[in-house]
Amino acid sequence: MPLSASVLIDGPSELVFDYAIPDGLPVRPGCRVRIPLRNRPATGTVLRVAEKPQGDFALRYLTDLVDPEPLVTPELLKLAEWITSYYGTPLEQVIRAFIPASIRGEKTSAKTARAALIEKAPTEEELATMAKRAKRQHAIIELLTGATEPIPVAQLGGSASASLKALSEKGFIKLIDLEVRRDPDAGETIIPTEPFTLNNEQAEALEAVSDSLISEKPDPILLHGITGSGKTEVYLQATQKALDLGKNVIILLPEIALAPQTVRRFKARFNQLDDKIAVQHSHLSQGERFDEWNRIRSGEARIIIGARSAIFAPLRDLGLIIVDEEHEPAYKQDNPPKYHARDLAVVRCRLEKCAVLLGSATPSLETYNNTLLKKYQLVKMTQRADGATLPLTRVVDMRIESRKQKGRDAILSDRLRTAIDERLEKSEQVILFLNRRGFARSLQCPPCGHAIECNHCAIPLTYHRSEERLVCHICGHQAVVPRVCPECKDPAIRFQGYGTEKAEIILNKLFKGYKIARLDTDTTRRKNALRDTLRDFKAKKIHILLGTQMIAKGLDFPNVTLVGVLNADLSLYAPDFRAGERTFQLLTQVAGRAGRGDLAGEVIIQTSTPHSPSIQFARHHDFDGFVTQELEMRKQFSYPPYTHLALLLARSSHERRAEFTLETLHLKLKENLPEGVILGDPIPSPLTRSHSQFRFQLLLRGPNARVLSRHIKKILDATPTPEDVIVTSDLDAYDLG
């Protein structure tokens, strides 16, 4: 029976065309193929293979296979189908997310270097002649003789090209193109480490993972361990257990900031398997991504460490997936397909019958509730691995500090400044956390109240002193700093608030003679800047590390004895029911960076709302108390984890069209609304305008995710929308802004 293939065409569009398969061409789902597209050749990925449809038209034939082996494994195709069913995302969008752009586009290829090997060994007489008349040729033959592998030409002498050519013409050597790996960690010196002796709680956690590795139907495991309890050591030894069984491992990280330290730890522990560890995250170059992905696909790599997209790594014989800091919102993808990597880890493990370990000091309420329902296994670690105690946490009321400083921005309280002085005098290190970059959060005119806003987004522009520009942190728009107020022309216009850039300047003035480093997206644009800064901090070359949330979790520096939170209120009053949970998690995580060695730790939290439950529970490291009151609130108002939530967003450059479109969809969604589903009203989004588009949204909540997804998809498919209005849906949404 003639067969046809549905092919997703490479490129920015989501075009899918059917092509006939030539007889004898072994095309399978997941294969990359060359196809004719109009009057030009193109490439694409096979989504499905079926019998050739009957009809009056003739299908064009595939040209050839790019690679005979599918780039998407059968197991990953099942995962893609699950994503399509659950999130209502077209399969072509899902497959596009599975295969990196560097692989799909064929613009990136393997890096090669010229290398030489012995083709025919010279006789003793020929060698003697070379030694007298062609000493460089003789030296090259000496180097190549006995070599088990080809030697790159670069290692045979920088000016040896003529000698190499002469030896090749005589038939003594053969010049070949040797594939060279672009190693993202090249030049790093890794000192091997041995496994630590586990305490009782760590041993119990490892035993639970070991049992899961050999189970036919393993349940997901939540490893709830306080900061510093030694979760990473459990990850390392659990990985060894999986490797001993001939299985492979994926480790997911929420922040790129955690990648250098985690990669270093795994390479140090699995030193003999250094070339079996692959890395996947957005700070890699296209060439490095290409090489790492192909090492995974070929089976060369057995341990994969990466950000959320690493969940799609085409790894065979999967035995264990570890999701570190599973509570992190960074695991939720913002662009279609809007998946959650933690949830996909659980689904992939169910499909491939492997173990999944979710680790966190502050688990998400969704995950923790699954342990209460006995869907997940709970393992607790309540003691720090090195016997250290949790740091003493103090809360400073910044309303009082502001009065002391006569209304000026109080960046450092007297208590925090004194504490920093004391730690620095003892040659100890300090981490300061401020989750806002830039110099000042806005430029405002006190007489008339006008604030300089972005021309394209409904937010104030942030002042960046290093660039002398006002910058929008949503769309990137930049503007010149005005000398007078654009509205009332008053020259009294001034900066309000502060960010990491201003805090760094003040710290340099207050603590002269000490090295201060800042880590945020502005300072980590240079390749390896993040890795180098963290390495210098670990080597005690940096005394104070100031940063945004990229320094708030997972980092382990034994000499850090003081952590200061400069403004704990930034995330507390966001228009989001998860604001309290995120504040508690962030404060608990950043506090956990202190006192992780032999020295006692201290945390100072600066806040204008000291009596907030999130801050007080974080102060006392009371996860159980926070969860009890937060779950009760969620249950009363029918929020996750007791329901699933879907966010419907309409955006357009025409405000009324976006609003009218969402109102129309609201009326249609209201008809035949499934039982148990709560439909909210259309309202302007908290960020009312972004990238020159007005935004309106509504929320749906219900007990069954697929019921929500199908109802929304049914209405969207049946309702035409204006061309200039874009409507998106996000199931299990994490960003309600």
Q: Using 50 as the pLDDT threshold, list the residues of the chain that sit under it.
A: 159
CA dist., res. 560 & res. 538, Å (int): 9
Can you give the pLDDT at residue 144? 84
Can you give the pLDDT at residue 282? 75
Can you give the pLDDT at residue 386? 74
CA dist., res. 182 & res. 364, Å (int): 37
pTM: 0.87
Q: CA torsion angle for 647, 650, 651, 654 (degrees, to 10)? A: -150
For the stretch 680-729, pLDDT in tens is 999 999 999 999 999 999 999 999 999 999 999 999 999 999 999 999 99
Phi, psi of 596 (to 5 degrees): -95, 0
Q: Measuring CA to CA, which residue among 86, 95, 67 is closest to residue 6? A: 95
Q: Measuring CA to CA, which residue among 309, 303, 373 is closest to residue 340? A: 309
For the stretch 304-322, pLDDT in tens is 999 999 999 999 999 999 9
Q: Concatenated DSSP letters for 592-657?
A: TTSS-SSS--EEEEEES-TT-HHHHHHHTT-HHHHHHHHHHHHHHTT-TTSSEEEEEEEEESSHHH
Q: Measuring CA to CA, which residue among 352, 485, 335, 413 is closest to residue 82? A: 352
Q: Measuring CA to CA, which residue among 33, 43, 47 is closest to residue 91? A: 47
Phi, psi of 671 (to 5 degrees): -70, 135
Can you give the pLDDT at residue 409? 62
SS3 of 438-484: CCECEEECCCCCCECECCCCCCECEEECCCCEEECCCCCCEEECCCC
For 362-388, give one letter per residue: b (16+ CB within 10 A) or e.
bbbbbbbbbbeeeebbbbbbebbbeeb
CA dist., res. 19 & res. 46, Å (int): 10
CB atoms within 10 A of CB 193: 14
Q: Which two tokens stand for residue 607?
A: 């806040």
Can you give the pLDDT at residue 260? 81
Phi, psi of 86 (to 5 degrees): -80, -50
Can you give the pLDDT at residue 55? 66
Phi-psi category of residue 633: left, alpha or beta, with phi > 0 → left and psi -120 to 50 → alpha: alpha
CA dist., res. 636 & res. 633, Å (int): 5
Q: Which two tokens stand for residue 176?
A: 């070949």
Q: Concatenated DSSP letters for 302-366?
A: -EEEESGGGGG---SSEEEEEEETTT-GGGB-SSSS--BHHHHHHHHHHHHT-EEEEEESS--HH
